[in-house]
């Protein structure tokens, strides 16, 4: 959606599943482009809507779109934005099936810098933030790192660059 509203306006993205509307994300409008990905999109046809959120929490629909059914199962993927980043990158796991998920960040020698998630796919957050801090709480240096997601033995890696 391209919006020409007030900067700082609160927006909500909803998806209707089986006649029930669920709020998937709350965003703040900005000048320029804002992207959001539904990492848990169902295989069937789905309706999404963008709403303005009043100060009291009331939703007013601005636009809606019907997304057709996918041809096959969604692809296992790990999105990273912004990239390069400073001070924070958001990792968005796209997990098409159930199973065990691990999301971590590694240096280029393969050493684990930080573990962001380790558990069931159904409970995995749709976005994970990394602020350039290792597991001991120390800031890491500028440079390239590898974001790694493992789902039941399948591995996806993305190069991410911290530019301090």
* 125-156 pLDDT tens trace: 889 999 999 999 999 999 999 999 999 889 99
Q: Are residues 40 and 95 in the same domain?
A: no
Burial of 51 (0-12, 13-18, 19+ CB in 10 A): buried
| Across 23-44, average pLDDT | 75
Q: Are residues 96 and 129 in the same domain?
A: yes
Determine the pLDDT at residue 3: 57
Q: Are residues 54 and 107 in the same domain?
A: no
Domain for residue 5, yes or no?
Answer: no
Average pLDDT, the chain: 87
Its pTM stands at 0.59
Q: Are residues 31 and 96 in the same domain?
A: no
Q: Are residues 85 and 155 in the same domain?
A: yes
- The band of 86, judged by pLDDT with boundaries at 50, 70 and 90, is very high
3-class DSSP state of 65: strand
Domain count, the chain: 2
- The band of 1, judged by pLDDT with boundaries at 50, 70 and 90, is low
Q: Which residues of 23-49 are buried (b: 16+ CB within 10 A; e: fewer)?
A: ebeeeebeeeeeebebbbbeeeebebb
Domain for residue 3, yes or no?
Answer: no
Contact between 130 and 91 (Cβ < 8 Å): yes
Q: Are residues 114 and 60 in the same domain?
A: no
Tokens found for residue 26: 């709350």
Q: Are residues 101 and 119 in the same domain?
A: yes
Contact between 116 and 126 (Cβ < 8 Å): no
Q: Are residues 57 and 122 in the same domain?
A: no
Determine the pLDDT at residue 153: 87
Determine the pLDDT at residue 33: 63
Q: Are residues 86 and 145 in the same domain?
A: yes
Identify the weakest region by mean pLDDT among 20-34, 54-68, 91-105, 129-143. 20-34
Q: Is the pLDDT of residue 30 over 90?
A: no
Tokens found for residue 52: 């303005």
Q: Which domain holds residue 112?
A: 77-162
């Amino acid at each position: 959606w391209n919006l020409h509203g007030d900067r700082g306006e609160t927006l909500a993205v909803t998806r209707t599943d089986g006649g029930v509307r669920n709020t998937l994300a709350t965003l703040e409008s900005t000048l320029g482009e804002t992207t959001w990905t539904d990492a848990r999109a169902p295989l069937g046809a789905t309706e999404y809507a963008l709403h303005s959120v009043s100060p009291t929490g009331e939703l007013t629909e601005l636009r809606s779109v019907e997304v057709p059914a996918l041809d096959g199962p969604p692809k296992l993927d790990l999105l990273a934005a912004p990239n390069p980043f400073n001070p924070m990158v958001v990792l968005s796991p796209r997990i098409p099936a159930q199973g065990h998920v691990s999301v971590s960040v590694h240096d280029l020698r393969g050493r684990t810098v930080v573990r962001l998630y380790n558990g069931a796919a159904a409970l995995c957050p749709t976005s994970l933030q990394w602020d350039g801090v290792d597991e001991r709480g120390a800031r890491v240096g500028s440079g390239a790192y590898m974001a790694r997601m493992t789902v039941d033995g399948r591995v996806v890696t993305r190069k991410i660059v911290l530019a301090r």
